[in-house]
Chain A
Amino acid sequence: MRRFLILLFIFSAFAHSQQTAQNLFSQYQSALYQIRIIELESGNKSSIGSGFQIDAQGNMVTNYHVVSEYVYNPDKYRIEYLTINGNSGPLELINFDVVNDLALVRKTELGETEDIFPLATTLPDQGTTIYSLGNPHDLGMIVVPGTFNGIKKNSFYQRIHFTGAINPGMSGGPVVNENGQVMGVNVATAGNQIGFLIPLSKIEHLAAKHADAPLPIDGFKTAIAQQLLANQTELFSKLQNAAWQMAPLGRASIPAKVGEFLSCWGDSNTNDEDALFLSVENRCRLDEQIFLHSGLRSGGIELEFEWLNGQKLGENRFYSLYNSSVIGAGAGNAATKTDVTNYQCKNNKVTNKHNVTSKTVLCIRAYKEFDGLYDVLFVGATLDHKEQGLISHFTLAGVAKDSALRFIKQFMDAVEWQ
């Protein structure tokens, strides 16, 4: 009997969620749109995403990455919406938030009645069923029930962890609670039912600009630059104010974790019994980067330490290995020729405040379109031991000069011998 009750309960819960999904879909489908980027030359769509209307003035929210082609080449593309009934019309870009991958677009012609998605007031409890809506792979609008699993732990760029299938094309679609109120926007998937959503607070922040005039077309890049600059200021002040957690690595003591939003991994070659040297690695990075266009990411941080011990090799052979371990470092973020300059480097032998001497190289490249933003690459190798050495390496993407210099100094002075 009890078993029957449980089954009945499960069935009814399932039926309930089915019911809600159907209701939600039929109730809100007219406020749900496919966002298309049309290439002017061919007149056909070059990329698609989803979007949803948030007010009667025709404002819609989608992902920045859905409209990024237009932002970068406003003279080659235009933005269009397509309703579930097959009606289409032009959209204008009002504003965007590159850091949180959101964009606000507006219908230029309004119909008689406009359906909207209301925004939720709070995030639900962990475990609540929520519904993701969107148009995956241009297959038509669908609704995907899934589970709200809170804000992703240790992330600087906040994301809701959603257990449910999000697929390409659903980007920019709303995720609603049982009452049909938006509490997130589809943004990314890590596969296997792990999806990520932009949380409510970021949507509210952008939606507050709903009454604004559209950004001028020549102001897009300036707006991106301002947002990136503000973001890096916040990121690096958090990094510099956090107490850097020191940990031993070989004979050195290194800043193993410089901020709680970096995720860290370790590795070593102790399993390789034939190896004549020991290599122990500690890597930390920001899990997310800021998408600017298909060839350019920014806002990332990577930190790496490697302890090498080659007492079996002898001094000269060890240094040959050591030397080959420090060559060929590359940028941590994707960028193309039109986005950034080539790196310029400076190298020297540097002794830090803990008397650790390293051969150090610092390389910088500038963003061609965003004044005052740079990518930084650093490699240092200690010179204090005959058969052992510590390699420290980091890359910073999209950072201002003063934040960069402060971080580099703090990083270089952090390493000490135990």
Chain B
Amino acid sequence: MAIVLELLSRKNIPLKHYKFEQDYVCVGRDFNNDLRLDDPYVCPSHMLVAVDPESGLLMVNDCQSTNGIKINNKFVNQSTLKPNDIIKIGRTRLRIIDTKAQLPKAMPLSELEENLSWLNKATLAMSLSIACLGYLLFSKYINTVAEFKLLAALPSELGQLAVISLWPLTFAVLAKVVKKESHLINQINLTLIVTLVFFVLNLLQSFFMFNVNPGSWFAWVELLIVALIMMAFIWLSLFVAFHQPTAKRNAITLFMSTLILAPLVLFGFFNEEDFSSRPDYDLTLLPPAYNITGSVETSAFIESSESLFSRVDKQKEL
């Protein structure tokens, strides 16, 4: 019977595994050992893991070590071992692997993963960054009433881009920490694409507000769109970073989206009862070229405004 030992990190994350075909394994700092550990707290010859010929059980024996052996956090001199027991010698942690235990089935390979391979292009990241920076600079130019100086504007807009890149960096670092590939380029591209989508939506919103004059219901539509994009974005970020079961990824996505969107909803929608001496109105103005809908006559506007009086009269009772 083979003996399989797994080297663990301090947080029990598997680092490496060793498979031995013989019935005994000597563990220590000495180079003569079957498993050599480079740990100053481990004796040159620290312990022996062996299959008991009579019972066939796996046993551990202390070879008169200085620091002893801990099995599942208890000091032992000699003990039988069960699968998944954690042995601690010195500062090193080893796990006994049950070679007969059934492993879960392989996760089906997602086609999405293949379809997202185009994201992993540095040139794409470069052009998306330039597009984002270009938009930021252009909107800054549009919104400056004084003389516009490109060099003076550049640092703050680059700073904004840097702030945006914090998201992909965080996911890349997290992925690296759990021993996965960082997929930094994918994450950066994904984030920049979503940022650009938000920029475009912002322009579309102005255009819509200017031409259609929607009622207060439109705020809910906006919220819904933002929520859907946020959720898709978080889901994809997780998808690129970690190999998780879909259910877990969905749950994390839902949790994170709620965390981000809840304050928006609470402050934006449920404080209507608060008194304000300033009206909450939208008066988006765009140049004549964007004006595609017609206008009403004064008397029609006055007529449609009559309903305002009954609306505020109803509010009095609240």
Contacts and interface: CB of A to CB of B under 8 A. Distances in A.
B6 to A, nearest CB: 62
A319 B289 CA distance: 11
A57 to B, nearest CB: 40
Contacts of A337: 275
6 contacts: A342-B276, A342-B315, A349-B213, A349-B296, A385-B288, A386-B288
A366 B279 CA distance: 13
A352 B298 contact: yes
Given A277-B145, A349-B293, A361 B309 contact: no
Interface string B266-292: 000000100111111111111111010
A413 to B, nearest CB: 5
B107 interface: no
B316 A405 contact: no
Interface stretch (A39-47, A83-91, A151-159, A310-318): A310-318
B239 interface: no
Interface in B239-284: 272, 275-284
B280 A401 contact: no
Interface string A382-410: 01111001000000000001000100110
B305 A366 contact: no
A366 B312 contact: yes
Contacts of A366: 309, 312-313, 315-316
Contacts of B309: 364, 366, 374, 401
A348 B304 contact: yes
A335 interface: yes
Contacts of A418: none
B306 interface: yes
A276 B283 contact: no
B278 A331 contact: yes
A381 B286 CA distance: 11
Contact of B281 (A336, A363, A368): A363
Interface in A305-348: 313, 315-324, 326-331, 334-337, 341-348
Contacts of A107: none
Nearest to B148: A317
A341 B304 CA distance: 20
A40 to B, nearest CB: 27
A317 B142 contact: yes
A362 interface: yes
Interface size, A (range): 35 or more
A368 to B, nearest CB: 5
B295 interface: yes
Contacts of B313: 366
B281 to A, nearest CB: 4
A60 interface: no
B294 A329 contact: no
Contacts of A316: 142, 287
Interface residues of B, number: 47
B151 interface: no
Given A274-B146, A347-B282, A379-B281, A408 B315 contact: no
A327 B213 CA distance: 16
A379 B312 CA distance: 19
Interface string A278-321: 00000000000000000000000000000000000101111111
A350 interface: yes
A181 interface: no
A34 interface: no
Contact of B285 (A348, A359, A413): A359
B233 interface: no
Interface string A176-198: 00000000000000000000000
Interface in B302-318: 302, 304-309, 311-313, 315-316, 318
Contacts of A346: 304-305, 307-308
B171 interface: no
B280 A345 contact: yes
A344 B315 contact: yes
A126 B315 CA distance: 51
B144 interface: yes
Counting chain B CB atoms within 10 Å of each CB, which of A277, A347, A353 scores highest?
A347
Nearest to B299: A409
A345 B309 CA distance: 10
A327 B284 CA distance: 9
Contacts of A381: 283, 285
A359 B145 contact: no
A351 interface: yes
A412 interface: yes
